[in-house]
Amino acid sequence: MKENPILTRETFRTSRLLEYFSEKELTLQTGHEPGRWPEVVLKELIDNALDACEEAGTLPEISIESTPDQITVKDNGPGIPPKVIESILDFSVRVSSNDAYVSPTRGAQGNALKTVVAIPYVLGGGHAQTVIIASHGQRHSITIALDRIEQTPAITHGLAADPSVKTGTCVTVPVPRLETNLHAVFLPLVESYSLFNPHASFILRFSALDVHQFDRTALDCRKWRPSDPTSAHWYTGAQLRGLMAAYVTAERRGGPALTVRDFIGQFRGLSSTRKRKAILTRLPRLAGLSLSACVENGDIDEELVASLLAAMRGESKPVKPLELGHLGKAHLQTWLEAHAGIAATVTYKRVADLDNATELPFVFEFAFGARQDTDPRRLFVGINAAPTLVDPFRMLKGYGVGLDGLLNAQYLGPDAPVTCVAHLSCPHLHYTDRGKSSLEAL
């Protein structure tokens, strides 16, 4: 009788770069299942467009075009620099201008456009897909495929002149083999962006005959912009240490060297010579040093950071909650009348306070109005001027039922013909998932 051969198992090595290109990893990164990835793509592109415009001090004008197989988003901002586009293609690192800062900014997944580039490949069943980014007069064609032998993503970056895009950024992302009704999900999302961003205008096109326009209702940005200085009162010692380390890492990779003095001056209320001198007088060992000189044995001393943070807080005033920005009853009344069919006066409640646990400022606004139709309840939820795709309060301690349960308890059930709006502004929030879709605590 012939014996079965013995299997000698080989230990195979697979590049972790490929994890970005799997359904499991992208679900973790985005916080959503594949059926919602087109919304994730559109949300990421609009977040980036709004942030870019606000940093440049430009009133945002954003155009979205959706066909059955692709999404195009164009803005009037300063345009994504070529070096940033190149860095998107390095899946071994995280690239973000928000990740290390504590500030009430939108989105802040910390992976910038990487998920946007990876999603089409996974949705396409592993077939090569091309994302187009046009900016600064150049057209970047980014094609994602798979090197099955090396088990790594095979990325092709084509570059050509595109004089049609002299200002802003235009991004086109394919959405292959998708059964989602894009009209049904994109229109409410863009509506939400216009609700939470009165200073921005939006145009959403599905076809020449199916165009939806949302004009701005304000000529200023009543929110904390990405370019506004961050506050020392928003940081823990660990967070400030992380920010210092991020600057040192950037310097080692070719970025500019930053002194402790200049680092302090970037914070709200600490830009004056007198304030910086007062802080360094209390901490003479830091006077004249660069941030990189604070590193010893591969780390920055924890006690040193704690002393620096205490001194920075002592020389600056905390940010008042309402300085974070708010929508206000007048805007909500106008928007709900124009876009939600609300004829009666809107019921509005605002809480501006400090969180008991973190002492961070926050502004929470809630509004609702009755409609004349018999359609079910509509709920718009936003955090830091960006709509959420799901209820982020669904897992809060003591509120396991989320906003749905709270509204039901107030007799505003799913069948009630009302439109409700909930918006939260806060410099830092604790999330239960990497996709930042579910809050842990206020």
CATH code: domain of residue 45: 3.30.565.10
pLDDT band at residue 3 under the 50/70/90 scheme: low
**Exposed, middle or buried: residue 142 (CB in 10 Å: 0-12, 13-18, 19+)?**
buried
Is residue 363 in some structural domain?
Answer: yes
How many Å is the maximal CA-CA distance in the chain? 92
Inform me whether the pLDDT recorded for 366 exceeds 50: yes
| Residue where a domain terminates, one of 274, 294, 314 | 314
Whether 183 and 83 map to the same domain: the answer is: yes
Whether 131 and 181 map to the same domain: the answer is: yes
Rounded average pLDDT over 410-425? 91
Q: Which residues contact 321 (CB under 8 A, 6 or more apart)?
A: 352, 353, 354, 361, 362, 363
Rounded average pLDDT over 228-250? 95
pLDDT band at residue 13 under the 50/70/90 scheme: low
The DSSP code for 260 is H
pLDDT band at residue 114 under the 50/70/90 scheme: confident
Inform me whether the pLDDT recorded for 205 exceeds 90: yes
Is residue 223 in some structural domain?
Answer: no
Please give the Cα distance from 238 to 130 (Å, whole number): 40
Whether 167 and 247 map to the same domain: the answer is: no
Question: Which has the higher per-residue pLDDT, 162 or 434?
Answer: 162
| Residue where a domain terminates, one of 314, 337, 356 | 314
Whether 241 and 113 map to the same domain: the answer is: no
Cβ atoms within 10 Å, residue 160: 9
Whether 174 and 29 map to the same domain: the answer is: yes
Is residue 55 in some structural domain?
Answer: yes
Inform me whether the pLDDT recorded for 128 exceeds 60: yes
Among 2-16, 113-127, 187-201, 221-235, which is the least confidently predicted range? 2-16
Whether 75 and 186 map to the same domain: the answer is: yes
Inform me whether the pLDDT recorded for 143 exceeds 90: yes
pLDDT given for residue 409 in this prediction: 79
Whether 275 and 412 map to the same domain: the answer is: no
Is residue 305 in some structural domain?
Answer: yes
| Residue where a domain terminates, one of 167, 184, 214 | 214
The DSSP code for 371 is B
Inform me whether the pLDDT recorded for 351 exceeds 80: yes
Q: How far is CA 23 from CA 14, 108, 119, in A?
A: 17, 21, 9
Is residue 11 in some structural domain?
Answer: no
Inform me whether the pLDDT recorded for 121 exceeds 70: yes
The tens digit of pLDDT for each residue in 403-412 reads: 888 888 787 8
Which residue range is the domain that position 143 belongs to? 16-214
The tens digit of pLDDT for each residue in 261-313 reads: 999 999 999 999 999 999 999 999 999 999 999 999 999 999 999 999 999 99
pLDDT band at residue 399 under the 50/70/90 scheme: very low
CB 146 within 8 Å of CB 154: yes
Is residue 374 in some structural domain?
Answer: yes
Whether 421 and 394 map to the same domain: the answer is: yes
The domain that holds 408 is classified in CATH as 3.30.230.10
pLDDT given for residue 108 in this prediction: 55
Q: DSSP letters of 211-246? A: EEEE--S-SS--B--TTSPP-GGG--HHHHHHHHHH
Rounded average pLDDT over 68-87? 92
Structural domains counted in the chain: 3
Is residue 3 in some structural domain?
Answer: no
Is residue 7 in some structural domain?
Answer: no
End-to-end Cα distance, the chain:
70
Whether 309 and 326 map to the same domain: the answer is: no
Whether 78 and 150 map to the same domain: the answer is: yes
Question: Which has the higher per-residue pLDDT, 243 or 15?
Answer: 243
pLDDT given for residue 140 in this prediction: 96
Whether 74 and 201 map to the same domain: the answer is: yes
Among 63-67, 142-146, 261-265, which is the least confidently predicted range? 142-146
The closest of 54, 101, 387 to 226, measured between CA atoms, is: 54
Whether 306 and 327 map to the same domain: the answer is: no
Q: What is the CA radius of gyration of the chain?
A: 24
Give the predicted TM-score (pTM) of the model: 0.89
